[in-house]
């Protein structure tokens, strides 16, 4: 039997609630499959941890996490700690330190969930966004001068390296090759960002020459955002820089009917370091502790984690069970028009999983 060690970091707000729900479903998948076993090590790193220790995670945090096969993250951020402190204290050091340079976001409308777009259903909302995840606009290069004076200056510098841009674009082409529609759109803004985005476009064109089987095109990010709303069915795979990808994937997530649904993977394709999987909804402090958070995103993130570990049948079974639950519409949380609790939805998905297994 295959053994996997998973580092669980529930984090802040609703993070502990949805990760507990996700683990319940993962346990059911493990039992049904019978061919693998997950062992979880849980770490309390969070904004509460920061208030107690003055840091979001210990100085040897990456070393601790590095011994695991994958990371399962809940949420990072709470009003008690400034967002830039929590983000740069936990999430970004993991992404950058473990070279998780691919942020993988499947955009899929599940059956039974109403899309905010008129006349758009599951057949029209089904594509993948790939976001560069370690440099670009979030490289963290910059500073402030003359702080607090009328002459104060703030500089934030984007960093685009040939290695960083080429590897994420190549990954996107490889994903496009595996899709029924072998198409890839690159998000750019080279009309105004005459250095970074022109460079991005040149690298995209160079890599495209290696993938003649993929229909490659580029679009300015503002036009792309418009098309996400007007014609989401036009897309198969989209690749974007860190900031552009962040914004586009949140827009795409809204197309899925609720931000309680989308999940994401922070991937190190070479597997030199563990990859990290998470719901993308954030910590939702206004509903934290009420037991009403939607666990679908965390459950889906768990399925993505299993798929990456090679347990594709179990991952597919979880996804099928989730879609079965949403299609029936009986056990859903309030954001999807239901009255169920977080744990009730998780239990329903686990029950559906066992039922489908026969």
Catalytic positions, written as ranges: 138, 189, 222, 246, 250
C-alpha span between 214 and 194 (Å, rounded)? 26
Q: Which of 164, 176, 247, 174 is nearest to 203 (CA)?
A: 164
Per DSSP, the residues of 286-349 read TTTTSS----HHHHHHHHHHHHHHT-HHHHHHHHHHHHHHHHH-SS--GGGT----HHHHHHHH
| 158 neighbors 196 (Cβ within 8 angstroms) | yes
> b/e per residue, 29-67, with b = 16+ CB within 10 A?
bbebbeebebeeeebebbbebbeeeeebbeeebeeebee
Would you say 180 and 214 are in contact if contact means Cβ atoms under 8 Å apart? no
Signed CA dihedral, 66, 72, 78, 84: sign only: positive
What count of other Cβ atoms lies within 10 Å of the Cβ of residue 271? 10
Q: Report which DSSP code applies to 269.
A: T
Q: Using CA atoms, how far apart are residues 323 and 286, in angstroms rounded to an integer?
A: 27
Contact assessment for residue 138 and residue 160, using Cβ atoms and an 8 Å cutoff: no
Measuring CA to CA, which residue among 221, 211, 203 is closest to residue 179? 211
Residue 126 β-bridge partners: 108
Residue 265 bridge partners (DSSP): 104, 277
| CA–CA gap between residue 73 and residue 265 (Å, rounded) | 10
Measured CA to CA, the distance from residue 75 to residue 18 in angstroms comes to 9
């Amino acid at each position: 039997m295959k053994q996997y060690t998973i580092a669980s970091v529930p984090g802040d707000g609703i993070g502990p609630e949805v990760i507990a729900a996700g683990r319940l479903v993962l346990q059911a998948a493990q039992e049904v499959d019978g061919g693998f076993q997950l062992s979880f090590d849980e770490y309390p790193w969070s904004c509460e941890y920061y208030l107690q220790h003055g840091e979001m995670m210990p100085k040897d945090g990456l070393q601790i996490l590095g011994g695991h096969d994958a990371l399962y993250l809940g949420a990072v951020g709470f009003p008690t700690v400034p967002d830039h402190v929590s983000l740069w204290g936990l999430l970004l050091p993991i992404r950058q330190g473990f070279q998780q340079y691919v942020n993988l976001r499947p955009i899929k409308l599940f059956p039974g969930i109403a899309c905010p777009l008129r006349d758009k259903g599951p057949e029209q909302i089904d594509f993948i966004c790939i976001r560069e995840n370690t440099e670009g606009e979030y490289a963290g290069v910059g500073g402030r001068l003359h702080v607090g004076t009328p002459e104060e200056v703030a500089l934030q510098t984007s960093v685009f390296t040939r290695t960083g841009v080429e590897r994420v674009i190549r990954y996107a082409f490889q994903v496009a090759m595996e899709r029924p529609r072998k198409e890839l759109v690159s998000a750019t803004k080279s009309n105004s960002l005459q250095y970074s985005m022109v460079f991005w476009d040149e690298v995209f064109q160079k890599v495209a020459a290696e993938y003649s089987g993929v229909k490659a095109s580029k679009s300015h990010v503002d036009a792309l955002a418009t098309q996400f709303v007007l014609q989401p069915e036009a897309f198969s795979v989209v690749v974007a820089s860190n900031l552009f990808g962040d914004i586009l994937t949140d827009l795409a997530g809204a197309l899925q009917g609720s931000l309680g649904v989308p999940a994401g993977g922070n991937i190190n394709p070479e597997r030199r370091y563990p990859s990290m999987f998470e719901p993308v909804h954030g910590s939702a402090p206004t509903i934290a502790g009420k037991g009403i958070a939607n666990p679908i995103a965390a459950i889906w993130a768990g399925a993505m984690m299993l798929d990456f570990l090679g347990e594709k049948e179990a991952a597919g079974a979880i996804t099928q069970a989730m879609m079965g639950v949403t299609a029936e519409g009986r056990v859903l949380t309030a954001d999807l028009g239901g009255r169920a609790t977080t744990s009730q939805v998780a239990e329903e998905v686990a029950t559906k999983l066992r039922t489908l297994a026969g």
